[in-house]
Structure 1
Amino acid sequence: MRLLLYNIRYATGHKKGFHLPLPYAGFFKKTAANLQRIIHFIRLIDPDIIGLVEVDSGSYRSSNTCQAAQIANDLGYHFVVETKYSGSSLVHRVPIIREQSNALLSRTEIIDTSFHYFSQGVKRLIIKAELQQVVIFVVHLSLKYRHRQNQLGQLYSLIHDTDKEVIVAGDFNTFWGDKELKLFLAATGLENANVVNAPSHPSHAPHRQIDFVLHSHGIRIDSFFIPDIQLSDHAPLVCDFSCLSSPLAVAGDDQGIRLVKQLH
């Protein structure tokens, strides 16, 4: 199966024109044209599962249309989408911001979905989606180190209570490097699909590894690559994986790791 993780920055774009006429002015501009570019890219990658971080679920930027729903309808996916902020948060009452969401899309049926919220941080949403062979968690962690560590502890509890194989995908905002995840990985037994620690941010000159696909031991990574595409400030992560308990999984422990510098 192929998983795509992409922080699309609400399809507001990157670099060219984003900071004109004022810094971060692109955050408030219409997103239809860039969303079509993102949809075209997703069509080329042809993933089975998509974890989307920073999706506009219906502000004026997206013409009051949910971007996750548009992608799902155009490309034929099941989907779930939810705002990143809990209903009790004051942020939830602010126009534009209250439509800022994360989403999970799947070619196959999403058997069950639940939404959880961290107790600390502004970005609090955890999407938990159960598919036939695997449970996917989509997260976007806090910008503050102390909050991130607290969030990882709460995420551990959710993973510990999960019976199926697990993938945790998202923007972890690990500005201090992957060492921030050392204790979390040791406690959960999860592994980083990006075994060479290739950076994905910012997309025009990557030097930070803040986007992660983490997986349980019963999942084999068959390939992993980061396309060189700049439709967002984050580059996307693409991961081909097999569940070892599946009869479709081919025996063997080799991992094929590909880093793609240019997507043709």
Structure 2
Amino acid sequence: MEARRLCWFVAAVTAMTLELVRSTGPLMDSVYSSSGMEPAILVAVATYAGPGVVVAGIALAHRVLPQHDGTVVLVAPAALLVALRLAAQAAPPGAKVGIAMAAIAVSLAALVLAVAALASCAGGQRDAAAALSSGLAFSVLTQVLLGTWDAFWRSSFPGWTVSGLMSLAVIGTAVAAARRERDVAALHPRRVWALGPFLALATLITANPAFVASQADVTLFVAGGVAALGLLLAAAVGARAADRPALPLTVVTAAVLVVVVTGLLQVPRAGGAPAGLVLAGVVMVQVTCALSMRGALQPRQDEDAVVSEPVIGGRTVVAATVAGLSAIVPMMLYQIEYRAPLGFPNYLSLTAAALLLGAAGVRGHPALGRSSSRRTQRLLVVGLSATVAALAVVAGRPWTTPDRLLDPSRPADTASVRIMSWNVHYAVGGSGIADLEAVAGAVERHDPDVLVLNEVSRGWLIGGGADDAAWLAQRLGGHWTFAPSADRQFGSLILSRWPLADVRRVELPQGTGTQARSMVAATVTSQLGDLTVVAVHLEDGAGRAAVRLQQLAVLLPEFDAMDAAPLVFAGDLNAAPSDEEIATITRAGFVSAIDDAGDPGALTQPSDAPHRRIDWVFGRGVRFQDADVLYDEQASDHLPVLTTLVP
């Protein structure tokens, strides 16, 4: 196995692995919805412990067929990975979870083996760090081209085209790398398990353009460009950084990694932080991750030392198991906090991942001599060229606020305003499929003038890493604003046919609730004149009425203070018609659209068999002509509500 060709294989497998890791969120959400929290956790843990089992099987095959080293270690896992990955995309919802979980285990095992093989070459730890960061850059570029909605979830021609190209890259690079003998099979990397926290940080931060866009409050085009270029810079630094006394450098690298990761995760929901500071922080984390990974893979021996242990040994089996578990546990804890509070800030789980990766990269002996960087030169050149090409392709896309109608064919002088309110459940339906096109299709069928959405994901693992807000705005057109709720990757969205003015965001008291909540308000100039529209999502849980009442105690005075007589507020209030929360709203002078102009017996959740109404549209100073619950729209676990305002 030749090191230069192994670099390409590591990059290709990294890109596919990251896509599969992102699929974990929606798939586990489907298990959670059908079976509960504990089974979902057990499935996730079993899946991410699986790489050790896969590596053990490959080690056994390697002992039986030692003469076919490259085929057993690289080509066979690559072929199995591609077969499972394509099968998972084609599988019906009921079978997708099992196939995808197997694909995740195989992909992590293949990545561990490829990185171990590459790092076992002379100077290979540098090449491995560069190849990993390059693979992350290719993943970012794929997301940017697809608007962050992964090919894994798509049955369309573009989805299968991207999947086919990724598969060809994995198989082709595996075959190419297996044709040659390894440069120097005399070293053994130290801490391959560091791939776990490295991938956790990549999934949620360093290779997550939706995270970057949301945290920095920039367009997806800018976020994707910065993320991709930053990763290529990290790859170059990992391959070329000058040698110096190792211990001080690696300790500083670890400290910077931990501090900046913690800071990026604490950007305030209200007001945010300077975009330049956030973007610089992301690049710093990318570079320090590459340097820490390089240090973690540093062999114990000098470059002329010889070890008898093969690359696939007991330590590699353990490393694969630890890598898988140290990838999923931080991400799982970060997400679980919003379902079942952990008792500590959830960002500390990713801080711990950063600390683990940084500590793995600390070494207490001088760095080895600097090796040639020619192995990764072509990889970096291709990465840079691909970045320029991808950004050129998406440069004309309206990732921000395009001035065009949702449906130009609709008469502009219609004397009404149609408002749709929908909790879209991060575009993940009950079957566990992340399907943004289904959400967009439902909106197009009913052609609202103003769209109010709750549970909009912007890079959350549970939403498959997609930027729902940017994707829907680009797909539907219109003007949009977003208000973070739980964190800056989750919240409520207003998308309007008309420009938005006087945008206002207010944080609501959390009390004993599971997550912070907020509201966003904006004024549109419609055919009926100026209208203030507010998106609201109150605390959930049958036993948390007191929290919702606290949130209403903040909201209602805010509504009174708004300098606009006609006002509509909509969203998932997690309160039924007979609850005190609804009585409090009506006493404040608001009228329910469904009760005033629709069917008071209508139900909105769950979508497949609704038994309660918790999704609302209220108005003050407006007149509702009609209000309907759209029972045919099943893209979420909630049903949308559509209402028409008239003079």
With normalisation by structure 1, the TM-score equals: 0.76
Q: Do structure 1's residue 190 and structure 2's residue 590 form an aligned pair? A: yes
Residue 128 of structure 1 aligns to which amino acid in structure 2?
A: A
Could you tell me how far apart the structure 2 residues matched to 1:173 and 1:105 are?
Answer: 22
Q: Residue 24 of structure 1 corresponds to which residue in structure 2?
A: none
Assess, with a 3 A threshold, how the Cα gap between structure 1 residues 166 and 194 changes in structure 2: closer, same or farther: same
Deviations 1:44-86 (A, max 9, x none): 111100000001112356664421221111111100113213x
Q: Residue 219 of structure 1 corresponds to which residue in structure 2?
A: 622
Could you tell me how far apart the structure 1 residues matched to 2:444 and 2:552 are?
Answer: 33
More displaced stretch, 139-148 vs 175-184: 175-184
Please, which runs of 5 or more residues in structure 2 have no aligned partner?
1-416
> How big is the shift at 1:239?
0.5
Deviations 1:95-118 (A, max 9, x none): xxx512210000001012111101
SS at match of 1:131: strand
Residue 551 of structure 2 aligns to which amino acid in structure 1?
A: Q
Structure 1 residues 6-155: aligned runs within 5 Å: 6-14=422-430, 16=431, 18=432, 31=434, 34-60=435-461, 64-85=465-486, 92=487, 98-120=488-510, 121=513, 122-132=515-525, 133-143=530-540, 144-155=544-555
Residue 562 of structure 2 aligns to which amino acid in structure 1?
A: T
Q: Residue 613 of structure 2 corresponds to which residue in structure 1?
A: 209
Could you tell me how far apart the structure 2 residues matched to 1:174 and 1:60 are?
Answer: 27
Deviations 1:6-34 (A, max 9, x none): 100001111x3x3xxxxxxxxxxx72xx1
Please say if residues 178 and 209 of structure 1, whose CA atoms lie closer than 8 Å, have aligned partners that are also in contact. no
Deviations 1:118-145 (A, max 9, x none): 1224241111112121111111101211
Q: Residue 258 of structure 1 corresponds to which residue in structure 2?
A: none
Please say if residues 118 and 124 of structure 1, whose CA atoms lie closer than 8 Å, have aligned partners that are also in contact. yes
Q: Residue 231 of structure 1 corresponds to which residue in structure 2?
A: 635
Please say if residues 177 and 208 of structure 1, whose CA atoms lie closer than 8 Å, have aligned partners that are also in contact. no
* RCO higher in structure (CA 8 A, sep ≥6): 1
Deviations 1:178-214 (A, max 9, x none): 443112321x211000113321111112121100100
Q: How many aligned positions are there?
A: 215
Q: Do structure 1's residue 180 and structure 2's residue 584 form an aligned pair? A: no
Please, which runs of 5 or more residues in structure 1 have no aligned partner?
19-29, 86-91, 93-97, 243-248, 250-264
Residue 114 of structure 1 aligns to which amino acid in structure 2?
A: R
SS at match of 1:82: strand
Residue 190 of structure 1 aligns to which amino acid in structure 2?
A: F
Please say if residues 567 and 619 of structure 2, whose CA atoms lie closer than 8 Å, have aligned partners that are also in contact. yes
SS at match of 2:594: coil
Could you tell me how far apart the structure 1 residues matched to 2:460 and 2:482 are?
Answer: 14
Match of 2:557 among 120, 143, 157: 157
Q: Residue 141 of structure 2 corresponds to which residue in structure 1?
A: none
Residue 154 of structure 1 aligns to which amino acid in structure 2?
A: V
Q: CA RMSD in A?
A: 1.8
Query: How many percent of aligned residue pairs carry the same amino acid?
Result: 28
Please say if residues 428 and 463 of structure 2, whose CA atoms lie closer than 8 Å, have aligned partners that are also in contact. no
Residue 117 of structure 1 aligns to which amino acid in structure 2?
A: E
The structure whose residues are more often helix, as a share, is 2
Could you tell me how far apart the structure 1 residues matched to 2:563 and 2:474 are?
Answer: 31
Residue 221 of structure 1 aligns to which amino acid in structure 2?
A: F
Could you tell me how far apart the structure 2 residues matched to 1:183 and 1:174 are?
Answer: 11
The structure whose residues are more often strand, as a share, is 1
Please say if residues 54 and 100 of structure 1, whose CA atoms lie closer than 8 Å, have aligned partners that are also in contact. yes
Could you tell me how far apart the structure 1 residues matched to 2:555 and 2:470 are?
Answer: 26
SS at match of 1:38: helix
Could you tell me how far apart the structure 1 residues matched to 2:508 and 2:580 are?
Answer: 21
